[in-house]
Amino acid sequence: MSAVLGKPVDPGSPRSEDTAGPPEGWEAPREQWLSTAARPAFGPRSVLLEVVVRLLVPAILLLSIFMLVAGHDRPGGGFAGGLVASMAYVLRYVAGGRRELAAGIPMPPNALLALGLLVACCTAGLPLVFDHPILDTTKVTLTLPLFGEVKILSALAFEAGVYLIVVGLVLSVVAALGARMEAEEEEARAERRRRERRRRRNTGGQL
Amino acid sequence: MLLPYLIVSHAVVAVLVPWLVRAIGARAFLVASLPLAASAVWALTQSSDLLAGNEVTASVAWIPALGITLDFRLDALALTMVLLVSGVGTVIFCYGAAYFPARERALGRLVASMAVFAGAMLGVVTTDNLFALYVFWELTSVSSFLLIAHNDRKEHARRSAIQALIVTAGFGLLMLIGFVLLGHIGGTYRISALLAAPPVDSPWLPVALVLVLAGAFAKSAQAPLHFWLPAAMVAPTPVSAYLHAAAMVKGGVYLVARLAPGFADVDPWRALVLTAGLATMVIGGWRALRQDDLKLLLAYGTVSQLGFLTLLAGTGTHVAALATEGVLLAHGLFKSTLFLVVGIIDHKAGTRSISGLSGLWRRTPVLALASLAAAASMAGLPPLLGFVAKEAALAAYLPGHLGSLPRSAATLVLIGVVVASILTFAYSARFLWGAFADKETVAERRFPAPSAAFLAAPVVLSAAGLLLGVLPFLVDPIAQRYADAYTGASYHLELWHGLTPALGVSTLIVAAGVVMFIQRDRVARAQKALPRWPEAEAVYNLAIHGIFTVGLRVTRRAQSGSLPVYLGIILATMLALPGVRLLMAIIGQEVDYPQPSEGLRLWDNPLELVVALILIVTAVATVREHRRFPALILISAMGFGIAGLFVLHGAPDLALTVVLVETLATIILVFVLRRLPAVFPTRPDGWGKRLTALLCAAAGTFVAVSLWLMTHARTDAPVSRGFAERAEEAGGQNLVNMILADFRALDTFGEIVVLVTAAIAVASLVLLNRRDRVVEAPDADLDTTEEEAAPPGAPAAGAATASSTTQEASAAGSGSADTAPPDQESR
């Protein structure tokens, strides 16, 4: 997840093969911690924020998955988990702007929504195939090597659908409200620059 | 019985055929024709069984709770229709394989829609349940919409398709109401049971019949609803030949013919059917004479013939029923032949305008012969099926075979039929002359010879009309079986009945028709001299325009765009309805107030007092705050305070959700706030402000008081009793989660659908904005190149239009700034 930020730096070039020393640029990091291309949604860049978000996002996503899975016995569930996960993406957006957000999400918000609804529909309808009432849940208890006894409810799949839909909804809203304004501001900036250039060109012609 | 599987096989083919089209082009039509051919062959194999008096039936339970079963029944009328739908359909599908070029746009959709249509039509004519009939009926409307709009880049095609859909499906809704009424008063939705014991005593029966007939008339293009059919001729020719000549438009006729044995004697039936049929016949024939486009000529001819068919089908006498069967078959054969001929001419000569064609009979004698046989059948000349059927039709209104038809009505109808038949003869002759004859004033066009496969379809259909005309005893037994529903003198579909009055009338028609054709210039002048009657389409356009205007006005009034006004309306409604009721209850002393002895207490935990104080302080501060950003922060603080209350009451799940939603909502509102001024506009002190304060105070008081009273107003045991044990049983310990994901999962399902809908609404705003930008796209491209050509000093972030990730595409334009975050609080 975190490797997508910017392009990884080319670790070395084939030119240096015949020399004995280490390849050129060997000490450069494989991954970029700060994306030079990204520009935050609002205001100046904050290195601290970018680094902290970088560190936090995987943890937040993991927490959201935990809330989803643990929801049957503890506070949490698909809705809360989805909100937490979307919070991670919103953080990423605040720190790095819309390009950063686009690089970070696994699929477009509409696809998330569709996938979520599909998962929920399938879970809802699947019991019908086995002659059970719609949305019927079953419990499976497995004994896994590392986790010991694990209980899985079929409602978990339904919750996963809810989770995906919540993430998709929040991302849609962010795209609509935040990113669009940002894009408009960029356009306004470009327009201003163009006008400036035209003015300069015109005066240059007169001179 | 095989029939349900046959219908399903159409749907299967429709799903698979788009891929096939990609592989083998228009030849996929041949594959798509297989289910049709199978249905036709199956129906033919059943015919001997049927003639012996056994009806073939099948039944599939669909919605048992509503008594809706998919009953299928093949009787004589259904057999005729199946032969038309599937038999003629097969030939037209084969023609389609030769008609369409391999690179035709959206060919897959076209073939699939045609297959769906064929299956739905098969369902319409064989089902025995009113609801199933309605569903199949609307399926044909929808597939017809898709087929008319095949050339969807033309505005004309789109408009015609919408017009056809609105007319047929709109009146179809009336028909549905009629079906429900009919089933309700009849006590069954089975058509055969209804016909066996029609509920003639019910005062609602006439209403039901009028509604059903409205739907049937719209489908069969009866005046004044006929205008959609000529407009639908923008569809490709095979579609026109199939839907708008052979199959779909016969749906209405079929329904009339199906119901006539039970209801023809109920009062408004005959008056409606005979009037509409006669008017349609004459109007269609008259307008067909005026057309220069061969296809439009045929379209108006079809309108005329549909009027004829409705008239016959609705008459409800023995001989008229025989004639209905005959004309159904004859019209299906000759009209689709002629459409296919026009398709070939259009393809090869590049025009189908009468004033642009000359001398074609020398180029394609085979085509000319096929057209001659078909047009002669249309005009009612022996020895073709059209003649046999028309003889029966004339006999039906001549004395001796009237049955329950009143004498005066029969005479009027006979005059109308004769006039319309003369017009029919004239436009049939005009078609032949216009398409094939030598015209002195028109130069001959290049006409490459059509391939044999292309020619085969019209020749086969035309020959079938000739064959059945010479051997009418092939049709007669089936027609007799349908007509058995009526008592009447024995009459047979035959070529030669002897010197009967009907033959005399026929001779008269032919003579008058010949005169009319020879004097065609004079007729044309007379038509031009007559004032044009108002077009029915104008009324349709006016209605659509009116709906738009009213909608626009209502929107303009109701949607002021001001959030305070919306909120005010919502709050005022809340106060006006439940609020006033509560006030009246309090005044009338109907309310029990909770007493301390019954568990009323100030707090469970003193900490609650602290949280409540925080809430009150933040609420007051929010109202007094003049800057937007601090106000937002105060509101979120209030939200967190409420979460604290939940925690104190032992509801960690609710608290968690509230905290998360508050956080997200705050962040998203911050995005919006950047665009708004830093402070709220100051409103002048006055009545407006006072009224707002009053409204808000009243709403708050109402909510508080009603909550306080409601907790005491419980009359039944709570639903949630026993949830805890059941949650354990279901396998979870978190009760809230188990309610959401299991006990009340259907509610949750509805909620996520709401969420998705809200997200789609947001996305549609994104799209809306992007469409504006597409118009400016060339300009934007220019800017980009300019940007790239600019000196490298320009910041890279300015290249707004350069890259295009999906996110950016959706970010490039989106909802307006005042879009509130949708439905954050739905949970």
pLDDT in tens, B475-491: 999 999 898 888 877 88
The first and second tokens of residue B163, run together, are: 């017009």
Residue type, B208: A
A32: helix, strand or coil: coil
On whether residue B798 sits in a domain, the answer given is no
Contact B763 A39 (CB under 8 A): no
Q: Sign of dihedral through CA atoms B478, B479, B483, B485?
A: positive
Q: Which chain A residue lies closest to B662 (C-alpha atoms)?
A: A83
- Of the candidates A110, A135, A165, the beta carbon closest to that of B746 is on A135
Whether residues A120 and B732 touch (CB distance < 8 A) is answered with no
Residue B87 lies in a domain: yes
| pLDDT beyond 80 at B788 | no
As a whole number of angstroms, the distance between CA B792 and CA B737 comes to 57
Contact B759 A109 (CB under 8 A): yes
List CB contacts of A68: < 8 A, sequence separation 6 or more: A76, A77, A78, A81, A82, A156, A159, A160, A163
Task: Give the pLDDT of residue A84.
Answer: 95
Rounded to the nearest angstrom, the minimum Cα separation between A186 and chain B is: 6
CA dihedral for B731, B733, B737, B738, sign (positive or negative)? positive
Length of chain B as a residue count: 827
Which range (B211-220, B349-358, B409-418, B788-797) has the least confidence?
A: B788-797
- Model confidence at B781: pLDDT above 60: no
Structure letter (DSSP) for residue B445: P
Length of chain A: 207
Domain membership of residue B74 (yes or no) is: yes
Chain B CB contacts of A113 under 8 Å are 756, 759-760
Question: If we measure between CA atoms, which residue out of B373, B574, B398 comes closest to residue B470?
Answer: B373
The answer to whether residue B647 neighbours chain A at the CB level (below 8 Å) is no
pLDDT at B806: 35
Domain count, chain B: 1
Decide: A176 and B806 in contact? Cβ < 8 Å. no
Residue B53 forms part of a structural domain: yes
- Identify whether the C-beta of residue B331 lies closer than 8 Å to the C-beta of residue B492: no
The chain-wide mean pLDDT, for chain B, equals 86
Q: What is the per-residue pLDDT across B160-217, written as a single tens digit (0 to 9) for each? A: 999 999 999 999 999 999 999 999 999 888 999 999 988 888 899 999 999 999 999 9
Which of A158, A197, A41, A81 lies closest to B657, judged by CA? A81
Residue B378 above 60 pLDDT? yes
Using a CB-CB distance cutoff of 8 angstroms, which residues of chain B are in contact with residue A45? none
Portion 124-163 of A in contact with B at CB < 8 A: 124, 134-135, 137, 139, 151, 153, 155, 158-159, 161-162
Buried/exposed B10-36: b ≥16 CB within 10 Å, e otherwise: bbebbeebbebbeeebbbbbbbbbebb
B262-287 burial, b if ≥16 CB within 10 A, otherwise e? bbbebeebbebbbbbbbbbbbbbbbb
Q: Which residues of chain A are under the pLDDT cut of 50?
A: 1-16, 207
Distance, first Cα to last Cα, chain A = 55
Q: Which of A172-176, B17-21, B571-575, B688-692 has the lowest mean pLDDT?
A: A172-176
Q: Which helix (H) or strand (E) holds B475?
A: none
Show the domain range for B39. 1-116
For B800, the 3-state DSSP assignment is coil
- pLDDT range class, residue B749, cuts 50, 70, 90: very high
Q: What is the 3-state secondary structure (H, E, C) of B575-641?
A: HHHHHHHHHHHHHCCCCCCCCHHHCCCCCCCCHHHHHHHHHHHHHHHHHHCCEHHHHHHHHHHHHHH
Question: 0.95 cut: is pTM over it?
Answer: no
A187 touches chain B (CB under 8 A): yes
Q: Which residues contact B266 (CB under 8 A, 6 or more apart)?
A: B198, B200, B205, B206, B209
Whole-number pLDDT of residue A34: 56
Q: Is B685 contained in some domain?
A: no
B516, B420 in Cβ contact below 8 A?
A: no
Beta-bridged to residue A142, according to DSSP, are A150
Q: What is the mean pLDDT of residues B720-743?
A: 83
CB B640 within 8 A of CB B655: no
Specify which residues A153 forms β-bridges with: A139
- pLDDT, residue B539, reads 87
What's the pLDDT at B774? Answer: 42
What pLDDT score was predicted for residue A18? 56
Query: Of B332-336, B610-614, B782-786, where does mean pLDDT reach its minimum?
Result: B782-786
Per-residue pLDDT, averaged over B555-565, amounts to: 83
pLDDT digits (tens, 9 = 90+) for B85-119: 999 999 999 999 999 988 888 899 999 999 999 99
In DSSP notation, B29-67 reads HHHHHHHHHHHHHHHHHHHHHHHTTPPEEEEEEEEGGGT
Q: Is residue B319 part of a domain?
A: no
Q: Do B298 and B339 form a contact (C-beta atoms < 8 A)?
A: yes
Taking only residues 652 to 711 of chain B, the set having a beta carbon closer than 8 angstroms to any beta carbon of chain A reads 652-653, 656-657, 660-661, 663-664, 667-668, 671-672, 674-675
Q: Which two three-digit tokens encode residue B779?
A: 């300009």
B333 found inside a domain: no
Q: What are phi and psi of B802, to 5 degrees?
A: -75, -65
Answer left, alpha or beta for residue A206, where phi above 0 means left and psi between -120 and 50 means alpha.
Answer: alpha
> Residue A168 and residue A173: Cα distance in Å, rounded?
9
User: CA–CA separation, B382 vs B288, rounded Å?
Assistant: 23
Q: B56-63 and B68-74 as β-strands: parallel, antiparallel, unpaired?
A: antiparallel
Tokens for B94, please give them.
């084969």
**Structural domain contains residue B45:** yes
DSSP H or E stretch at residue B440: none
Partners of residue B57 on adjacent β-strands: B73
